[in-house]
Structure 1
Amino acid sequence: MRAARDGWRLATGTLTVVRVGAPATVDAGCARWAMLLAPVAVLPLGLAVALVVWLGSLVPLPPLAVAGVAIGVLSLGSRALHWDGLSDTFDGLTASYDPDRSLAVMKTGTSGPAGSVGVALVALVQAAAFSAYVDTWASALLAGALVCLSRCALWIVCCTLVPPARGDGLGVLHTRTVPVPVAVVGGLLLSVTGGLVVVALVRRTVRRFGGVTGDVMGACIELALATTLLTWAWV
């Protein structure tokens, strides 16, 4: 299936630093497959995190320090793309009640006070949650699996019911490509709580911006990961 192969290449090249060949064709079908295959495309990142967490459990290091390294590895493996999206989304939501002004702020690429604080808080939550998995090899594998599952957030953001906020950018190609039933499954795979957080952010951004952007996609991934890690740590 050519579309699926192109979609895998698009997802891997966009969501990870793994070098793959360029898609032969980038269209709606390719974008749909890219979103559907996102959890599989980041499998190398999940394995890397699982390895760091497992090795951390074998040495006399504070679990929080190991968690920090895991977040660092994950950030490097994704070019910190989602953290940038989280920062821009927080800045946009606090910049103005005017949609155009908010989108302009998000497009500048600079991190304002809200974005900086938001990134710090979510990173702190992720670190605290990751530290709970620095225990056994099974816990480490679970942490890696949750990294992959957090990308199911894209199934919700790119649901056919969610419009793009702009007429250009990453959001235009990927939004409205994932069927509603798949988005529902994504919410369930995010331990429900993660799905609810993503839905809440999507609803908020649609009301504020008129739709979602690539930045919102990144923000949803980081929030989904934090929430899902916390949920499984508590369970």
Structure 2
Amino acid sequence: MRGLALAVSWLTVLPVRAGPADAGTPLDPRVAAAAIRWAPLVGALLGATSGAVFLGLAALGVPPLVGGLLTVGFAALATRGMHLDGLADTADGLGCYGPPERALAVMRDGGAGPFAVVTLLVTVGAQAAALAALAGGPAVGVLAATATAAAVGRAGFAWCARRGVTAARPGGLGSTVAGSQPWWVAALWWAALAGLGVLAVPGRPWQGPIAVLLAALVVVALSAHTRRRFGGMTGDVLGAAAELGTTATLIVLSAH
């Protein structure tokens, strides 16, 4: 259960004690690896909560697109904006010229360049618009869609940190979890979430599995490209995987 506690501590604002790491002692790599495996469950809970927020805003008469934007903002607050920050840094790193060392330096800079800004605008806008397209559907479908999307994105953590993938630089989350996961962990999560996705679009049960498959392909492509471009994985890549996987899933689930 320490892995689950660490996953909640890492991935949400909830004040959950994560063991020795809270006292500044080195983090046990086995606990960190377990947290990666628990991440999709935490994502599902976050997604379902976001879906409930969206439904509540709709019940109050908030326009769907505004409700979608507010829901995306809530999700960012609930995760400390960590995944969006990782997406922004990854976009800037991929957008710069030069060797991996140059890309990693750009990512460490902390500022948001044009690639980061555009990527964030497109991602946040796409998520909000997809949520707006779900408005008016059955509540169970909305909750299943948001839970599935958020969980699918976090399942990408296990793929990005699969065995054989090294850390791009020492220190940080990437070096702690790189190479810690069997490849089939992500595959099993994606397969299970395809089943949950069946509930997301009433009358079109095939749409959920297709959404999960597309999101998985996006994460696989992201991992391959960042591994080649950066020389390995970083914690920022995990954030990018979460946001891109979530966005791809929502887009497909919202298509009519």
Structure 1 segment 18-97 matched on structure 2, within 5 A:
18-24=14-20, 26-97=27-98
Find 1:162's aligned residue among 152, 165, 182: 165
Runs of 4+ in 1 over 6 A off after TM superposition: none
Residues 187 and 194, structure 1, Cα contact 8 Å, conserved in 2: no
Task: Tell me what 2:204 maps to.
Answer: none
- Stretches of structure 1 that go unaligned for 5 or more consecutive residues are none
**CA shift digits 1:200-224 (9 cap, x unpaired):** 1111111111111000100110000
Identical residues among aligned pairs (%) = 35
- Is residue 7 of structure 1 aligned with residue 3 of structure 2? yes
Return the alpha-carbon distance in structure 1 between the equivalents of residues 38 and 248 of structure 2.
Answer: 21
Residues 92 and 114, structure 2, Cα contact 8 Å, conserved in 1: yes
Instruction: Report the Cα offset of residue 58 of structure 1.
Output: 2.1
Task: Tell me what 1:213 maps to.
Answer: 234
Instruction: Report the Cα offset of residue 10 of structure 1.
Output: 1.5
Which piece of structure 1 moves more, 50-59 or 214-223?
A: 50-59
Residues 195 and 224, structure 1, Cα contact 8 Å, conserved in 2: yes
Residues 13 and 78, structure 2, Cα contact 8 Å, conserved in 1: yes
Structure 1 segment 177-216 matched on structure 2, within 5 A:
177-188=180-191, 189=193, 191-216=212-237
Instruction: Report the Cα offset of residue 185 of structure 1.
Output: 2.4
Instruction: Report the Cα offset of residue 63 of structure 1.
Output: 0.9
Return the alpha-carbon distance in structure 2 between the equivalents of residues 74 and 197 of structure 1.
Answer: 21
RMSD value, Cα: 1.7
Return the alpha-carbon distance in structure 1 between the equivalents of residues 37 and 187 of structure 2.
Answer: 13
Aligned residues: 231
Instruction: Report the Cα offset of residue 117 of structure 1.
Output: 0.8
Residues 6 and 24, structure 1, Cα contact 8 Å, conserved in 2: no
Task: Tell me what 2:252 maps to.
Answer: 231
Amino acid aligned to 2:84: W
Residues 145 and 250, structure 2, Cα contact 8 Å, conserved in 1: yes
- Stretches of structure 2 that go unaligned for 5 or more consecutive residues are 22-26, 194-210
